[in-house]
Structure 1
Amino acid sequence: MINFDGLLGQLPDLPNYQAKWVPVYLEPMMASGERITIAVAALGYDGTAMVRSALRAEKAKAMYAEKSDPFMDLIKTAIDSLQFHLDTRQTFADWVRPFSGLELGEPRSALSSDIIGVLRQAVSMSASLSALDFDAPVEKDNYKNDSWANKFRDTVVANSPWLDKYFRARFSTRNSSRDLRVFFLSPNIAVNTGKLIPGSGISYHFDINKSRLLDLLTVKENEGSMAPRNHHELIVYRPANDDASYSKIQIKAIDAYVNALNDAGDKHNIRVTTAVSAEDATRRLLKLESGF
């Protein structure tokens, strides 16, 4: 005879964080009837409010190409506006949209361990684009066609134009038949970059990062003892730990890949750091270049 009381007693306790959430829709072409989920918003019973993007930058790039940055700026404007409304009004109702084409879905109740967990549920239930893998493979030595590398470089040059000449540098060795392509190579530092994004291509990008670590090692071993560079580093783009558009399992997978890269770099005194934005990566590179 089945002991239902015993079975029920083995079930884990339900999460105790309660909140309501809504999808934020945008109609890109007015009166077309087409809507995409650009963000999700949660309002906890404890009063905590949080709005996060449900459309990643690489997806927007795949869909809108050169118009993707203005499109992401629109999403940020909508997020900031709704965040302010929830912080001050504590309700989804009566939000004054910053521009036309925005609409909130019906509020739904959810349980999770925290508000980020609620937002992750919201993304998985309302934003199909977040699950699609638009990220195209990148050639190991071809930083030119790497959207992350281009954004990183452009942000550095916007802050320090005189550093432009050090990007996509070539490094020649007597023992190699080919020149290495290094992301940033100045007299002071050697920096390569890559990315780790959850999805079907994550192992491929991990291999790219390992290869770029080896290129840094080649630079380090062949630059000469008379004028060695002060620092050799791989800066890897990764989603933030609280990025609601990825699950906890996906974030843990990223952590594991980052740890593996750190282990490989530590063996040769090559540092591996991560960045969650081009601005974050730029601050790191400028700090290294200035010697701090």
Structure 2
Amino acid sequence: MNFNPDVFPQAPSNVYRWAPVFMEPMNGSGERIVVAVAASGNGSSHVEQTVTSQVIKCMYGEQSAVFAGLAGLVAEDLQEYFATGGMLESWIAPFSGASLGPIRPACADSVEEAARSGAALVASLWRRPPDSAVAEVPEEDAPTVEVERWLNQIRYAVLQKNADIPGRFNYELKRHDGISTRLGYVGSRIVANFDALVPGANLSRKRQHAKARLLDLQIVRDFDSHMFGARAYELMLWLPTIESVEYSDKMIGASNSAFAELEEFGGKHDIKVRGFNRADEAAEIILHAEA
């Protein structure tokens, strides 16, 4: 029998490296679910999420939003890590319940195909997306709430009710060590910073930005406590409502998970972290404190 090599298709010539990303549904339990597969190589990378929000809802019911949010944060953190040129083996998970599995090679026509081939091997809950799947709307085309706009909305709501409030918005505080810190509001009884946890691909960066504002409050309070005296220190964050039609359940869950992390961090440093979806609610906190 004559063998004709032309009968068989050529194997893919590109070699990629991929690894599963595990997450514990209950932190410390040891139980692990593959929530994503990450692949990189040949100057490209891809993160394939392997559990849909619908599946998570079926599995965890009322607790699904938290798990979906954390799974989304893991994928976003990996995407941003790859965007900065990070290597797959050096990635560090953003929280203790997530971890990277063993790294394996794969021959594929594209990095997306390498990740999906890996998902088919290790993720029982993953289903290959159809070729006609509709792409997600880019973040720049989605409605957003800018931090500056959030601050201005709160300022307007406060001054509408009390134009003589004893405080200043967007205040640059010059400490006696020569360092300047800009704060959202500095009043006689409350000091506040403002930020917005807008869902989307850059949520991890927004979370870090909000944490920086939280640290600014901590530094000012600890450094100048003798000058400020007994004041309240708060970080006031915009959050999407659960009824927000412009965001998916997964995106809203991710924002809520980021908020829970910041709330816990603030609690350890005696700084209140609050979430709002309306400026007048945040304004009432300031007005009540200054009354």
Per the normalisation by structure 1, the TM-score is 0.49
Q: Which has the higher contact order (CA 8 A, sep 6+)?
A: 2
